Amino acid sequence: MVYPIVAYGSPVLKRATQEVDPSSAKTKTLIDDMYETMYASKGVGLAAPQIGLSSRVFVVDASPFAEDVEEEESIFLKEFKRAFINPVIIEEIGELWSYEEGCLSIPGIHEKISRLRDIKIRSQNTNGDWIEEQLSGLSARIFQHEYDHIEGILFPDRMTPLKRRMLQGRLKNVSAGKVDTIYKMKFNVK
């Protein structure tokens, strides 16, 4: 099932999410639907709040970035497709680096955001097993962006106050529905 994407300004996007049962049929169906919605929207990541659910789940498929990086990272990104259930960032390390980010919930706006290059994470798979791993570069960035969603943080929250003020009119247009997208959107989702 393809869900509409929840737009910037909706309260559901600003709330921290609740843990889910990783092995339940409901969670597995949610993950399938999230992949279908992400692909239909031409995204590389999608968090449950972006379809109106306060669930601690997100999906990623970084393969579209595989051609934009060095060969070693490219191989990893081609295979970096998975669901993260009840994820936790254990440690953030490395240097800050800026990279232009966008978001399905904030269409038409792309800005450079600084994030740490390396993270150590833990999350569950659909069997309920905990998996711990380290991510670097774009995979770490994509994870951090989607993780922010389940914590109630959007990428404009990571910009300087001046930059946010400069984008205020465009952000208000998104929340008012004055956007053009290839996918359906929902506005003011509680």
Catalytic residues: 146
Would you call 116 helix, strand, or coil by DSSP?
strand
Cβ pair 101, 145 in contact under 8 A: yes
How do beta strands 185-186 and 5-6 pair? parallel
Q: Could you give the CA distance from residue 81 to residue 73 in angstroms, rounded to a whole number?
A: 14
Rounded Cα distance, 18 and 59, in Å: 16
Residue 65, Cβ neighbours under 10 Å: how many?
19
| 30: CB partners within 8 A, 6+ apart | 20, 48, 53, 55, 57
Q: Which of 79, 97, 75 is nearest to 144 (CA)?
A: 97
Cα separation of 135 and 133, whole Å? Answer: 7
Q: Which residue has the tokens 């097993």?
A: 129
155: number of CA atoms within 13 Å, CB side?
Answer: 25
